Amino acid sequence: MINPMELIDRTIMVTGASSGIGRETAILLSQLGARLILIGRNAEQLNKTLASLEGTAHHVYTFDLSNIDEIPRWMKEVTSASGPLHGLVHSAGLQFTRPLRIMSSENIEELMRVNVTAAIFLAKAFRQKGVSADSGSIVYLSSVMGLVGQSGQSAYSASKGALVTLTKSLALELSRENIRVNCVAPAMVTTEMSGKMLELLTPEQVLQIEAMHPLGLGRPRDVANAIAFLLADTGRWITGTTLVLDGGYTAH
């Protein structure tokens, strides 16, 4: 039986693999045959993800992506042990709600450093000789907040919108090196992080959010499926695009 999304003999790095969408993506990719390099800051949670993977030859590395300038050298060291990468999924990121009246420059700088600057340096590291295979695929995790606005989300929206346009520019620049660059933009997905946020809201506010998703809230596997599609040969002719996964959120 032909499986066009098969990832056998491919090595893929997933940042933010300790929970949520990153964890579910790693699990699905392992089920498709990939070797995983799991990246995060929490070793205990990363090892929980590792225990859920199928197959062998997976690796776990703790690394803080806010150490921007260390990313290229660090990725060289990682791939010298694991072999070149066929794919990179940047799922790690920060999210918070901050009305403009209490926004600080530190809030913005912290958000941009992990969500945007780290994304750029991961691509810079990925294109290094010996780090990526003869062809490669990068998938960023953006958000519908990068496409539409919402009160209290200005800095977060700016960071996720930056990923959308970053994807387009990198897709053009890295096409000559046979590296594809895409991103996915999910709406509300039921994860531990979103669950904690919903707990702070009234039942009426939760119902309002759910009503904005005609197909209901998403699940991590919904996003993982799209990421796998872009990494596999099913995405061979796709680059510079943003795949919106929102249950109809942006159809309003």
> So which residues are the catalytic ones?
156
Using CA atoms, how far apart are residues 2 and 38, in angstroms rounded to an integer? 28
Residue 139, strand partner residues: 89, 182
Using CA atoms, how far apart are residues 82 and 37, in angstroms rounded to an integer? 8
Which residues contact residue 21 at a Cβ distance below 8 angstroms, ignoring those fewer than 6 apart?
Answer: 91, 141, 186, 189, 191, 220, 223, 224
And the tokens for 51? 């225990």
Inter-helix orientation angle 105-112/154-174, to 10°: 30
